[in-house]
Amino acid sequence: MLKHKTSVLFADTKGKGKKTIQIPTSILLHWKKYLLIAATVFLGFGLVIAFFIYENTSNYYTTIYKEKLARANQIKNAIDIEKAKQSFESINQSMDRINRFMEDRGLTPLDFENAGGPVEFEVTDINEIAELYAEDIQKMESLIKNTPIGKPHEGEQTSHFGVRHNPFGGGGFEGHKGVDLRGEIGEPIRSTAGGTVEFAGRKGGYGNCVVIRHKNDFKTLYGHLSEINVKEGQKVKSGEIIGKLGSTGRSTGPHVHYEIIRGDEKINPQEYLNL
C-alpha cells in the first residue's frame, strides 16, 4: 500500500511557486494511526531515558551506602571484641587487687560502678564501659593520694615500730610508736598524703612537729624537725615539703620520726612505707 503514492501540489493563490511532492497514499488515508505510532515511540523513548537516569542516580546513593557499610564493618573488625573483653577483665582484676590491698590497710573499699565487670558486651557499649573505668580510676587515684603511702624522707630506717631498747641508754624498754629515718639536717621532709595541717609547732619529746589530717580518719606525724614550712589549717598535697629534717626534742641524732595514726590508734607505718 505504501508503494502507492499520491502527488500533492503546493501552489500559492496566484499559481506561482508550484511545488509537487509525492506522499504515500496510505499516510494521507491513515494519518491518525501513524501519528499515534509516532507518539507511542516518542513516549517509549522518554520512559527509557527516565529509567536510565533513575538507575544512575540510585546507583550513586547505593554506592555511598555501600561505602559507609564497608567503613562500619572495617571499624567493627578493627575492634577486637575478645581482646577488649580480656583487657577489661584484666583491669577489673587489678582494681580488685588494689581495692583489697587498701582494705587490708584499713581503708573502706571503693564501690566501683562496674563491680564484677562486664561479662558480655557489644562494641556499642565500649564507650560507656570506658567512661565507668575512667570514673572508678579517678576515685582510686583520689583515695591513694589521700592515704599516707611511702616515706616522708628517703633516709635509712634506723628504728622500727614497737618495743625497743631505750636509745638513751640506761637499760629498759620503751614503746616506739613510729619509724625513724636518718638523714642530714636541712633535708626536705614531705607529706605522705594530701591533707590539712592540724598541728605545726613544738610538741614535747617530738621537738618541732607537724601533724597532718587526711581523709578516712588518717593522720601523720613528723617529728624532730629543724624547720617547719607549713601553718596550721594549710592544705598540703601528697609529696609537698612540710619541713626540714632535724634533731629537735628527744632525739639522739638527725632523723625524722614518722607516725601514722588511724582514729585514736598509732599504727605500724611499715606496711605503708613501700607499696
Q: Which residues bind Zn ion (CB under 5 A)?
A: 180, 257
Q: Give the span between the Cα atoms of 258 and 191, in whole angstroms.
A: 10
- CB-closest chain residue to Zn ion: 257
Specify the residue, 105 or 177, whose C-beta has the smaller distance to Zn ion: 177
In three-state form (DSSP H/G/I as H, E/B as E, the rest C), the secondary structure along 225-274 is ECEECCCCCCEECCCCEEEECECCCCCCCCEEEEEEEECCEEECCHHHHC
Instruction: Tally the residues of the chain.
Output: 275
- Please identify, using beta-carbon distances, which residue of 176 and 214 lies nearer to Zn ion: 176
> Can you tell me the distance from the alpha carbon of 112 to that of 135, in angstroms, rounded to the nearest whole number?
9
Name which of 129 and 212 has its Cβ closer to Zn ion. 212
Q: Is 240 exposed, middle or buried (0-12, 13-18, 19+ CB in 10 A)?
A: middle
Shortest separation between residue 187's beta carbon and Zn ion, angstroms:
16
Residue 195 CB coordination number (10 Å): 25
Distance CA 80, CA 270 (A): 44
* Helix H or strand E segment including 20: strand 19-24
The grid coordinates listed for 5 are: 503514492
Pick the closer one to Zn ion by CB: 136 or 180: 180
Instruction: Report, in Å, the least distance between residue 151 CB and Zn ion.
Output: 14
Question: Which residue, 88 or 161, is less far from Zn ion as judged by CB?
Answer: 161
**Minimum CB separation from Zn ion for residue 190, in Å?**
17
Q: How far is the CB of 206 from Zn ion (least distance, A)?
A: 9
Q: How far is the CB of 176 from Zn ion (least distance, A)?
A: 6
Nearer to Zn ion, 108 or 252 (CB): 252
CB of 180 to Zn ion, least distance (A): 4
Distance of CA 100 to the CA centre of its chain: 23
